[in-house]
């Protein structure tokens, strides 16, 4: 299995209180990397320097559409300070969203980001698979973007929640899938620690490997306090899969 990362949104509360200490603890727990989700006002040079000291990689950062549109210089500076290779749009408010406009905005940013050495991806939730407006936003995102310019970060939990089969979607998008969010689904449909639910992680991870996924991140949107046992449980399960695979 490739390096296992953690999406910082999982630990947003401890990270807000003690950013450096949280990053250090993530490394001690055993994660190889983190995916950032943090306000642009933070001192990313200091954070990036400390991460380099403790050998904690940051392959990817999440950045909202407003910041991509209005503060592109700061977004790119943040990504450079952290040593990121991917910049990911993680959420678009679905209420009345103009998805064709989103595609144009994201594509314009992606062209500039590519010139500066970054790749851009879109991270979905379940609502992109809703057909109530006569189309599925996810189909717009796939069909109206340049496959050499816009990639995807597939969220395994939200795929299932949206009525999709994760393995089939990974296989369908193929090399456009560069990143995965590793989340599990409990029998009642809620999020749970990886390996504690109903999703077939060996099959999904193998499909990702064949598609050329470069980075995978554990995430739990609502881990119970004190949060750390959740990220430790997920990592233990994934490491066990890797050991059993030889």
Q: Is the pTM of this model over 0.85?
A: yes
How many whole angstroms separate alpha carbon 92 and alpha carbon 124? 9
Do the Cβ atoms of 170 and 203 come closer than 8 Å?
no
pLDDT in tens, 42-72: 999 999 999 999 999 999 999 999 999 999 9
* Whole-number pLDDT of residue 2: 66
How many whole angstroms separate alpha carbon 4 and alpha carbon 238? 8
Please state, rounded to an integer, the average pLDDT across all residues of the chain. Answer: 97
| Residue in the structure block whose two tokens are 């999904």 | 204
The alpha carbon dihedral of 192, 195, 197, 202 has a sign of positive
Parent domain of 192: 4-245
pLDDT in tens, 15-36: 999 999 999 999 999 999 999 9
CATH of the domain at 240: 3.20.20.150
Counted domains in the chain: 1
pLDDT for 37 beyond 80: yes
Pairing of strands 33-36, 57-62: parallel
Tokens representing residue 52 in the block: 């380099």
């Amino acid at each position: 299995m490739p390096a296992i990362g953690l999406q910082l949104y999982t630990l947003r509360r401890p990270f807000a209180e003690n950013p450096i200490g949280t990053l250090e603890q993530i490394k001690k727990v055993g994660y190889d990397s983190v995916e950032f989700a943090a306000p642009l006002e933070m001192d990313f040079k200091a954070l990036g320097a400390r991460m380099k000291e403790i050998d904690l990689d940051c392959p990817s950062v999440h950045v909202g559409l407003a910041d991509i549109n209005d503060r592109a210089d700061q977004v790119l500076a943040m990504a450079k300070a952290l040593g990121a290779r991917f910049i990911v749009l993680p959420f678009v408010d679905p209420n009345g969203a103009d998805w064709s406009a989103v595609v144009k905005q994201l594509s314009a940013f992606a062209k500039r980001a590519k010139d500066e050495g970054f790749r851009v991806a879109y991270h979905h939730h379940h609502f992109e698979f809703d057909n109530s407006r006569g189309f599925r936003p996810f189909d717009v995102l796939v069909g109206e973007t340049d496959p050499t310019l816009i990639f995807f970060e597939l969220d395994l939990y939200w795929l299932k929640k949206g009525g999709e089969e994760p393995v089939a979607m990974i296989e369908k998008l193929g090399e456009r899938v560069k990143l995965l969010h590793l989340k599990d689904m409990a029998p009642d449909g809620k999020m749970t620690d990886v390996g504690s639910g109903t999703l077939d992680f060996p099959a999904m991870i193998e499909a990702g490997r064949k598609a050329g996924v470069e980075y995978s991140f554990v995430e739990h949107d609502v881990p119970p306090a004190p949060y750390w046992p959740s990220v430790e449980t997920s990592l233990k399960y994934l490491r066990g899969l890797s050991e059993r695979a030889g």
